[in-house]
Amino acid sequence: MLIQLNYLKMLDSVKIKEYLLVQGVDIVGFHLLNGNHDEYYNHLNQKKINNNLYPRKVNTNDYANYNKVVKNAKTLISIGICYNNQINKNNNKNIGYYSKISHGIDYHVIVNEKLLLLKKYILQSNGNAKIYTCCDTGILDDRYISYLCGNGFYGKNSMIINEEFGPSVVYGSLVCDIEINNISNHQVISKCLDCNLCEKACPTNSLANYQLSYHTCLSYLTQTSKMIDLDLLQDSFYGCDICNDVCIYQNNNINHQCFNDIGYFDLLKLIKMNKQEYQNCFSKKSLSWLNFNIIKKNALLLYVKNNNLNKDELLNLKQELSNAHLLNSKILQDTFNYLLERND
């Protein structure tokens, strides 16, 4: 009987939060599901209408129901880890930066480790609990779940902004079929100041009406084989942190030791790397999932822009890569064609 009572012990949100904060999680929120998933469905449909579902192909019907991942889902838990690692930038034309989201160890690894701890914590109290976890690559919208869980509000920069930690936060989600004590669903009041600093700072005018136009956003473009207008390209070969960094809520006093990272790389060295060398340098970072020729494309564009290479210099570089058998990729060939045409 005693065993049975322990087995059914109700979990408490305050205790779970205390546990996770000790484990290095920055933000924890909860949401009690009421069996009606219309809100989530509407949210996804709205994103679809606004054509800004980044950039995965999403069937909202499949995503609308938490029961798709856990039958009789009752509780959502969202955890957040702030990735606002501070670096000192300089004017060295031979280097390019990569987004803070790629600093230190891959956030998928870090957040999934914390979600696993949470899952084990729940299973210790209720071994029969059905649990689904995801971070970024799952089928749920982690940002929207973090919003539902009260972790932040939507800012004009399209990010979830946590009042303490700001917008540079990575969220992971857990769905389970058990109820947890002490959860009070509450709508987070938006404290976005409408200062428009993010919209004004965006070099590609990709922000308007709380929506992000992914197809022009540098963060998106640096993850695709698409060419980028050199006049719009800034100082990064992967990602863009501008609309986060200008936000009034960006918390520059947070530095997790484990994310310490210089945040930049020598562009020419990157352009001349082979796949193995690239893996050796970047395999532990979240940008490692990308085709490395896309990263090389960005590095080449940035290097040419920074150093204002003329046609002869471009042709010399092309020949050098070709001689070293580093010009086999169509993406790189297209990039050279794009740059040479631009120089005509």
Question: Binding ligand SF4 by CB under 6 A: which of 188, 217, 304, 321?
Answer: 217
Q: Which is nearer to ligand SF4, 27 or 240 (CB)?
A: 240
Report if residue 248 touches ligand SF4, rule: CB under 6 A. Answer: yes
Q: Do 270 and 299 form a contact (C-beta atoms < 8 A)?
A: yes
Q: How far is the CB of 240 from ligand SF4 (least distance, A)?
A: 3
Q: How far is the CB of 227 from ligand SF4 (least distance, A)?
A: 15
Stretch that binds ligand SF4, among 11-19, 86-94, 206-214, 319-327 (CB under 6 A): 206-214
Q: Which is nearer to ligand SF4, 52 or 75 (CB)?
A: 52
> Could you give the string, one character per residue 164-203, with x where binding to ligand SF4 holds by CB under 6 A and - elsewhere?
----------------------------xxxxxxx---xx
Residues 111-170 binding ligand SF4 (CB under 6 A) are 155-157
Q: How far is the CB of 39 from ligand SF4 (least distance, A)?
A: 22
**Residue partners of 70: CB distance under 8 A and separation at least 6:** 130, 131, 132, 175, 176, 177
Q: Do 54 and 142 form a contact (C-beta atoms < 8 A)?
A: no
Q: What's the residue count for the chain?
A: 344
Stretch that binds ligand SF4, among 42-50, 72-80, 242-250, 290-298 (CB under 6 A): 242-250
Nearest to 156, CA basis, from 187, 202, 188: 202
Report if residue 64 touches ligand SF4, rule: CB under 6 A. Answer: no
Q: Which is nearer to ligand SF4, 213 or 322 (CB)?
A: 213
Tokens 């863009």 appear where?
Answer: 240
Q: Which is nearer to ligand SF4, 126 or 244 (CB)?
A: 244
Size of the site for ligand SF4 (CB under 6 A): 26
- List 11's β-bridge partners, or say none: 180
Q: How far is the CB of 234 from ligand SF4 (least distance, A)?
A: 8
Stretch that binds ligand SF4, among 57-65, 171-179, 213-221, 261-269 (CB under 6 A): 213-221
Indicate the residue whose CB is closest to ligand SF4: 155
Q: How far is the CB of 248 from ligand SF4 (least distance, A)?
A: 5
Q: Which is nearer to ligand SF4, 152 or 172 (CB)?
A: 152
Q: Which is nearer to ligand SF4, 31 or 156 (CB)?
A: 156
Q: How far is the CB of 195 from ligand SF4 (least distance, A)?
A: 4
Q: How far is the CB of 159 from ligand SF4 (least distance, A)?
A: 7
Q: How far is the CB of 327 from ligand SF4 (least distance, A)?
A: 29
Report if residue 242 touches ligand SF4, rule: CB under 6 A. Answer: yes
Residue 283's Cβ-count burial label (10 Å; 0-12, 13-18, 19+) is: exposed
Tokens 């065993």 appear where?
Answer: 3
Report if residue 247 touches ligand SF4, rule: CB under 6 A. Answer: yes
Q: How far is the CB of 169 from ligand SF4 (least distance, A)?
A: 13
- Name the site residues for ligand SF4 (rule: CB under 6 A): 155-157, 192-198, 202-204, 206-207, 212, 217-219, 240, 242-243, 246-249
